Structure 1
Amino acid sequence: MAHASVASLMRTIELLLTSNSPMQSLTCDHRGDFSALHEKISSLEVVVKNFEKNNISGELTDLEVQVKEVANTVEQTIQLGVTEVVLANDENLRVKAHERLSDRLQQVAEEIDRVWKESTKIQDKGKQASKESTVQEFPSSSKDIWNVKNNMVGRDDQRKRLVEDLTRSYSGEPKVIPIVGMGGIGKTTLANEVYNDACIRSHFDVCAWATVSQQQNVKKILLSLLRSIKVDKVFTGSEAELADMLQKSLKCKRYLIVLDDIWKSEAWDAVRLCFPSENKGSGILLTTRNTEVARDAGTKNLSLQMDLMGPDESWSLFKSVAFSSEALPYEFETVGKQIADECHGLPLTIVVVAGLLKSKRAIEDWRSVAKDVKSFVTNDPDERCSRVLGLSYNHLTSDLKACLLHFGIFPEDSDIPVKNLMRKWMAEGFLKLENDLEGEAEKCLQELVDRCLVLVCKKSRDGTKIISCKVHDLIYDLCLTELQRENIFMMNDIVLGISKRGNLSMQKMQPFKRVTGGEIDYCPNGLYRALLTPVHRLLRDHDNNDLLKRTRSIFSLHLSFSSRVLKSELIHFKLLKVLELRHIEIDNFPLQILSLIWLSYLSLQCRENLDIPPEICRLWNLQTFIVQEVQTFIVR
């Protein structure tokens, strides 16, 4: 959104004005220009922030489009000019670079003046709207959301039935019990409750969990199961070798396997032979939307069909999220029940809308949301759910929207380490300008959790820190849909191909495709995922140079060859902020990285101790530098 673009520009200028920044000494001749820009942009930021706060339709206005385009262009112009000054090899080149930077600063100042005049026309209106929309906000307690997560509403009978079916004495092949239901109905939540039940844990010798997803990756499933069984071990090998390891780990043991989110019968057929069949008393729990999968895989008469919640259960779940242990005023109960009813018994929709209202204590806000939810008239439950999730997204602030959309970078159903995720948010500039950026990142993550938009996968032993997280696949769909709108940032795939000389090269950027497995069919030679600063389609240059200038983050998703392709081409991404190379192992530090002076986050993998050149200090903006040495053990 516009505010996010203006905030990013503010960070860049403040960096150049900071007294302890090495860039400040190189750009001191332009300090007056930067200070004047900073003053204008500070005023513009206040207007845009207030204007955006009162526009929750999700649609960009003409003013916001103008401000966003100008802010992005100005930031890119300043960064390119400063880069020329910093990287100039001799005094003559540096003088010419300073002259070009002066000319560019005059041009961008005129652009800022133009949008400032436009913004002042709505300033009074924006201030008035801001006053009218002010409501009392109550800080949410993280303990409340854990209680909601750990205590299901309205599914206790189903949980007890599954525990009894799994622990009842049984001879023959392992029982296969499918949990069947539409997306968002709570299949994974129910399976997780059963998986962690005390009776289950004491009954089975081994418990293991794997998420399958739409495009199953058998090797990934096997690795997930092995890691569940032997948490501290690192596994490698072919698919056949991993299957053999899994069989040996389960042999002569009473085991429980959970295969979450199976879409096709082929996925079950691909892994079923990995589970020893002679073990009496073992069990396999499946979750699926597909009744055909349940019929093909399930033991007769043991399938569990999950139905939508009734009105009482829906209200109970809504109330537990929106109010927790607070006393409930009558007028809120009346409107809250209307909202819960309009969610038509789908748990994901209920908790997301309740999470949206959790911190709002103005009855007008509740009535407005009730009106919006009621307007989603459709007989398609999936479409209704998508619209309600979109409503919750539109109520997020710019920084929270950017942080949520960032989950769309990762493959579907990924468990994401929180520490690295928050560091990327910091490097991308998604967060508000605060001294304690890490604290601000934790606050944003907790708010997304409190709104039931992000799921906690693992917590610290004392329960105070989130270690890893993910998003529900319907939220993931929402992220991809919003990414396609290109309001906050663009996401492209950089496909690797073979050049005429037979070498690998970054041949082209193209609109991203959904990634669910480890192997990516449409780019067998390798794939990078890139985030770009958005530009309106009518103003966009379609040449590679424009794309390179606007690329601010690169992540490796799948690489089949060595890192040679990087060393010749990284230098062209002059404004890169984030570079994460997790799928290749390098022998030598790529010196081209030293020219990426705006880099804030760098993550590399190496085969052995990596020599870091002392010139790394040139990367003045670097906040996070991760070097991971790959040590692989084969466990048999």
Structure 2
Amino acid sequence: MATAYAALVSLMHVVEQIQHHPRPPVSLDKEQVQSLQENVAFLQDFLELYSHRLCQEYEGGLVVRIADAAHAAEDVIENHIVDQILDQSMSTSGENISSMDHHLYQDLQKVIADMDLIKREVIEIREKMGLGVVQDHQLHGNSVLAGSLSSSTVQGHKQAMVGRDDVLNEILDKLTGQQSDCRIIAIVGMGGIGKTTLARNTYENPLIMEYFDLRVWITVSQEYEVREMLLELVCQKNEERKKALREISDEGLGEMLYKSLCGRRYLIIMDDMWNIEAWDKVKLFFPNNNNECRIMITTRLSNLALQISGSRGLVMNFLEENKSWDLFCKIVFGEEGDCPLEYQEIGRTIAKNCKGLPLSVIMIGGLLPKSEKTRDYWEYIAENLSSIVNFEDNERCLRILYISYQELPIHLKPCFLNMGVHQEDSRIRVSRLINP
């Protein structure tokens, strides 16, 4: 459905560009533009409002036909633009241009007729499903799910730290202890267990901010680039400086890093480490200042922690059941965490089925605050969770994320899928996200 919705948006973008162009490459008939706009708006509204309620018998063929019709209309317009540009480069005959406009009109009329048929079919389906007519204010009603999810995630790392205070205090002790030489601390655990959140809370802790002269955070990931790592370590999020240093060699960047760290009490956090090679490439540029400098890594691999730090590291375990429930309540009901009595039994079932994985609790909890506050909806979430509770940890996490994706409003699904074309942990220009 996300593909169909994206196709409709793309079509209207092309039409609007032609309409507002000072010298449009083709001439679109006003009545055809109006028909296209009305049909597209109707189909967009239908997908936005009812995508989550369509039965499978309707979903497959109907959605494909909507996407095909939108693609066909866009192809007709773009093909005629190409033909007209080529014709103008070879001839200035007004008769040729008039003939091409006539062909464009005919081809578009066929596509509009197809859309009219789909529109009538959608009206019949809507009546058959008893969906009726909805009020305008319901148009984006489902988008609160996305809003609640993002707000719960943004509300702070403190929420996600429920049940981890003892671990955080242990790390603070290790970082600010009196050991004078360079110390490496590893945080180990599976994906979604809260390693990065714990590291981030440590990094932003007031005690740490005051204790260290310099703090640097970099994300390494599976597919790392040594040059990018060095640039990040040297420039510390300063994009202008990063541009200025692009031409400097890796050795030159390493030397700059070494000099910037020399004589200072520093903390470097290397998040999401996957292999020893990434560490070997940069460790030479971390001076041992004998003044309590610290390096912290997060990784899923205990053997990597052993190679880098000389120990198995601080292993993060699953949350206990009562701590999962506390975290769930804080996300769903705010800092107070007061769950109404009628929701406690089903809420505890949901929290329990997250199997102590903080990411699962956060993602599922993020769906509930502004969604349908009915027991039926909570039971629907609990049933979906119970069907995946016995999967392996990573697979279970992915399926819970998929539930969150399914609950996104249709107009946000293409935005989410678009993120998949970008490299992991890369910085993305806003213009690349908002411009087709």
> What TM-score range do you get, normalising by the shorter chain?
0.7 to 0.9
**Given the alignment, which residue of 305, 311, 315 partners 2:315?**
305
Secondary structure at the aligned position of 2:350 is classed as: helix
> 2:44, 2:419 → 1: CA distance?
26
> 2:41, 2:347 → 1: CA distance?
39
Secondary structure at the aligned position of 1:399 is classed as: coil
Report if aligned partners of 1:253, 1:279 keep a CA contact under 8 Å in 2.
Answer: no
Shift of 1:83: 5.3
Shift of 1:145: 5.1
* Aligned equivalent of 2:104: 101
User: How many percent identity over aligned positions?
Assistant: 32
Shift of 1:263: 0.7
Q: State how 1:98-247 maps to structure 2 within 5 Å.
A: 98-128=101-131, 146-151=154-159, 152-172=161-181, 174-228=182-236, 233-234=241-242, 235-236=245-246, 237-247=248-258
Q: What do the CA deviations read for 1:281-301 (whole angstroms, capped 9, x no partner)?
A: 111101000011111111458
Q: State how 1:70-89 maps to structure 2 within 5 Å.
A: 70-82=69-81, 84-85=83-84, 89=88
Residue identity matched to 1:407: M
Residue identity matched to 1:61: G
Label 1:404 to 1:364 Cα distance change in 2 as closer, same or farther (>3 A): same
* Aligned equivalent of 2:27: 27
Shift of 1:250: 0.8
Q: What do the CA deviations read for 1:203-240 (whole angstroms, capped 9, x no partner)?
A: 22211111110022211111111122978633231111
Secondary structure at the aligned position of 2:241 is classed as: coil
* Aligned equivalent of 1:556: none
Q: State how 1:411-430 maps to structure 2 within 5 Å.
A: 411-416=423-428, 420-421=429-430, 423-428=431-436
**Given the alignment, which residue of 333, 347, 360 partners 1:349?**
360
Label 1:251 to 1:338 Cα distance change in 2 as closer, same or farther (>3 A): same
Report if aligned partners of 1:50, 1:127 keep a CA contact under 8 Å in 2.
Answer: no
Q: State how 1:323-334 maps to structure 2 within 5 Å.
A: 323-325=333-335, 328-334=339-345
Report if aligned partners of 2:324, 2:358 keep a CA contact under 8 Å in 1.
Answer: yes
Secondary structure at the aligned position of 1:259 is classed as: strand
Label 1:178 to 1:41 Cα distance change in 2 as closer, same or farther (>3 A): closer
Shift of 1:37: 3.5
Residue 262 (1) aligns with residue 273 (2):
yes
* Total equivalences in the alignment: 416
Of 5-14 and 105-114, more deviation after overlay is shown by: 5-14
Label 1:34 to 1:216 Cα distance change in 2 as closer, same or farther (>3 A): closer
* Aligned equivalent of 1:62: 61
Shift of 1:425: 3.8
> 2:406, 2:149 → 1: CA distance?
23
Report if aligned partners of 1:185, 1:348 keep a CA contact under 8 Å in 2.
Answer: yes
* Aligned equivalent of 2:325: 315
Secondary structure at the aligned position of 1:261 is classed as: strand
* Aligned equivalent of 2:408: 396
> 2:349, 2:35 → 1: CA distance?
52
Secondary structure at the aligned position of 1:121 is classed as: helix
Q: What do the CA deviations read for 1:518-568 (whole angstroms, capped 9, x no partner)?
A: xxxxxxxxxxxxxxxxxxxxxxxxxxxxxxxxxxxxxxxxxxxxxxxxxxx
Q: State how 1:354-373 maps to structure 2 within 5 Å.
A: 354-360=365-371, 361-373=373-385
* Aligned equivalent of 1:632: none
Report if aligned partners of 2:26, 2:101 keep a CA contact under 8 Å in 1.
Answer: no
Report if aligned partners of 1:338, 1:370 keep a CA contact under 8 Å in 2.
Answer: yes
Secondary structure at the aligned position of 2:179 is classed as: coil
Shift of 1:56: 9.1
> 2:23, 2:339 → 1: CA distance?
55
Unaligned runs of 5+ in 1: 429-636
Cα root mean square deviation, aligned: 3.0
> 1:265, 1:211 → 2: CA distance?
15
Label 1:387 to 1:274 Cα distance change in 2 as closer, same or farther (>3 A): same
Q: What do the CA deviations read for 1:594-614 (whole angstroms, capped 9, x no partner)?
A: xxxxxxxxxxxxxxxxxxxxx
Shift of 1:314: 0.9
* Aligned equivalent of 2:6: 4
Shift of 1:312: 1.5
Report if aligned partners of 1:163, 1:194 keep a CA contact under 8 Å in 2.
Answer: yes
> 1:259, 1:391 → 2: CA distance?
31
> 1:171, 1:5 → 2: CA distance?
61
Report if aligned partners of 2:26, 2:80 keep a CA contact under 8 Å in 1.
Answer: no
Between Structure 1 and Structure 2, which shows a larger proportion of strand residues?
Answer: 1
Secondary structure at the aligned position of 2:318 is classed as: coil
Q: What do the CA deviations read for 1:444-487 (whole angstroms, capped 9, x no partner)?
A: xxxxxxxxxxxxxxxxxxxxxxxxxxxxxxxxxxxxxxxxxxxx
Q: Which has the larger radius of gyration?
A: 2
Label 1:218 to 1:39 Cα distance change in 2 as closer, same or farther (>3 A): closer
Shift of 1:9: 3.0
Report if aligned partners of 2:218, 2:270 keep a CA contact under 8 Å in 1.
Answer: yes
Shift of 1:328: 2.9
Secondary structure at the aligned position of 1:64 is classed as: helix
Secondary structure at the aligned position of 1:80 is classed as: helix
Normalised to the residue count of structure 2, the TM-score between the two structures is 0.86
Shift of 1:270: 2.0
Between Structure 1 and Structure 2, which shows a larger proportion of helix residues?
Answer: 2
Shift of 1:319: 1.6
Label 1:25 to 1:232 Cα distance change in 2 as closer, same or farther (>3 A): closer
> 1:364, 1:76 → 2: CA distance?
44
Secondary structure at the aligned position of 1:233 is classed as: helix
Shift of 1:46: 3.7
Label 1:200 to 1:47 Cα distance change in 2 as closer, same or farther (>3 A): closer
Shift of 1:190: 0.5
> 1:166, 1:409 → 2: CA distance?
38
Report if aligned partners of 1:77, 1:104 keep a CA contact under 8 Å in 2.
Answer: yes
Normalised to the residue count of structure 1, the TM-score between the two structures is 0.60
